Amino acid sequence: MKPLFTRNIDNKGRLVRGLGALVLLIGAGFGFKVSVWLGLGLLSAGVFVGFEALRGWCVMRACGIKTRL
């Protein structure tokens, strides 16, 4: 069994996830103006995707789903 959070994406995938996290966090800033729940949802998604980018780990790949990046 592999250790938890073992790297499973390359630098290209990390860059895409990092940019996605940035977009989600910016969206959270605008989302809080509309609804607290929308802002919290976008904020939590942005933090999680940012964690994936920094760690080099993808939850979908860890579950066995093949992604293009």
| Predicted confidence (pLDDT) per residue in 3-49, tens digit | 888 899 999 999 999 999 999 999 999 999 999 999 999 999 999 99
Residue the block writes with tokens 């809080």:
32
pTM: 0.88
Output the CA torsion 43→49→55→58 (10° steps). Answer: 150
Residue 5 CA to residue 22 CA, distance in Å, equals 21
Q: Where are the domains of the chain?
A: 11-62
Higher pLDDT among residues 43 and 61, named by residue: 43
* Amino acid residing at 44: S
